[in-house]
Structure 1
């Protein structure tokens, strides 16, 4: 499946089906026990990703690729970054815009659309938290090649690892799709992603930083740098 086809499925899910779910998950509202583990895992992963960037981001332009409800964008702006917050879901962009603290209004620009759009310009760093988890290795490799050509510093991203549990969930999702279920995550191996990125023309190095395992949230932080 092409990047565009996968993006279309993800857009349909997040903008028509999951907006309320993700808005609640990324707030302080009470959630189920399962979703509490996901919330805790995402909080931990956000901290891991932020640890890979300079504490002082003043004057730096950072792309929050797949910003969702805007938690990462707020954290980046608090460090002084000029944030381009992009998400495929206009509905989630509105949630993120409403939640942005007033004192950070001048630091964040929101855009609904494709995170790979060349018109977004060049960046000092890119963060892509859980926004590439539905794409296959070739699609992620092409994304890294496209972004890598426009980034001076680091691309910090997450992917689902190829664990036994995630492979079982992946297989079940492929065999028994439901219209109300999210697009199926594609488990990845770092070595295979690195090869796919090289085949796509990416010149940098891809390395594994840390895996976060919190109940139903299992994700690996990767870093791409030239």
Structure 2
């Protein structure tokens, strides 16, 4: 997974060194620009959609929040009673997530900075991966899902950037600027191609909110 590793390193560099403050503000109640507000609203809606795929009562369940960011999903899973392993490639974002987590939920959450596919994280009932696979090519996504899926008993709910004309144009423009310090570019995915490679895959919903366009998919075990 050489391409996966290279992309993962770029994502880590971006979120841990370039965009930490942006994401800390975006995922808070602080005022943001109108464009970023649409992104915030889109992410809030997508998080609710993904959580709706899991039982309301998660007591006794072990859940991986794969790419937990600043911990919004982690907190909601723990509030439902889950034992959560919250993993993110960015130690800076993990630090924010830990600081924000309510004291009453701390005993339910284990934070880890690193690769979300690492077998050392153990086995899970459910996995949620919100916008943490959107920078990877189709073969890397399918390989990552296979690695995590081998240790998941119920389902993996994840998002991709759908292959729409807008996102394809955005992807094309991004490739024109291969500067080392630019933000990672989303790689739009065709559902048909993913469905051929990923077993038991289903479309759940799509969210379009300004510049935020994301599709929720589910892989059942």
Is residue 190–residue 207 contact of structure 1 (8 Å, CA) maintained in 2?
no
2:70 equivalent in structure 1: 69
Q: CA RMSD in A?
A: 1.0
2: CA distance between counterparts of 1:190 and 1:118? 27
2: CA distance between counterparts of 1:192 and 1:12? 29
2: CA distance between counterparts of 1:194 and 1:155? 14
Deviations 1:113-139 (A, max 9, x none): 000000110000000000000001000
2: CA distance between counterparts of 1:133 and 1:209? 16
2:135 equivalent in structure 1: 134
2: CA distance between counterparts of 1:212 and 1:91? 27
How far is 1:194 from its partner? 2.1
**Gapped regions of structure 2 (runs ≥ 5):** none
2: CA distance between counterparts of 1:173 and 1:32? 22
1: CA distance between counterparts of 2:191 and 2:57? 29
More off after superposition, 179-188 vs 102-111 = 179-188
More off after superposition, 91-100 vs 172-181 = 172-181
| Structure 2 residue 215 is the aligned partner of structure 1 residue 220 | yes
1:200 equivalent in structure 2: none
2: CA distance between counterparts of 1:123 and 1:214? 31
User: Normalised by the size of structure 2, how large is the TM-score?
Assistant: 0.97
Aligned pairs (5 A) from 1:77-156? 77-156=78-157
Matched pairs, number: 220
1:38 equivalent in structure 2: 39
1:201 equivalent in structure 2: none
DSSP-derived class of the 1:22 partner: helix
User: Normalised by the size of structure 1, how large is the TM-score?
Assistant: 0.95
Is residue 127–residue 155 contact of structure 1 (8 Å, CA) maintained in 2?
yes
DSSP-derived class of the 1:221 partner: strand
Provide runs of 4+ in structure 1 moved above 6 Å. none
1: CA distance between counterparts of 2:183 and 2:125? 32
Deviations 1:81-107 (A, max 9, x none): 000000000000000000001110101
Deviations 1:59-112 (A, max 9, x none): 100000000000000010010000000000000000000000111010111000
How far is 1:178 from its partner? 4.2
**Gapped regions of structure 1 (runs ≥ 5):** 198-203
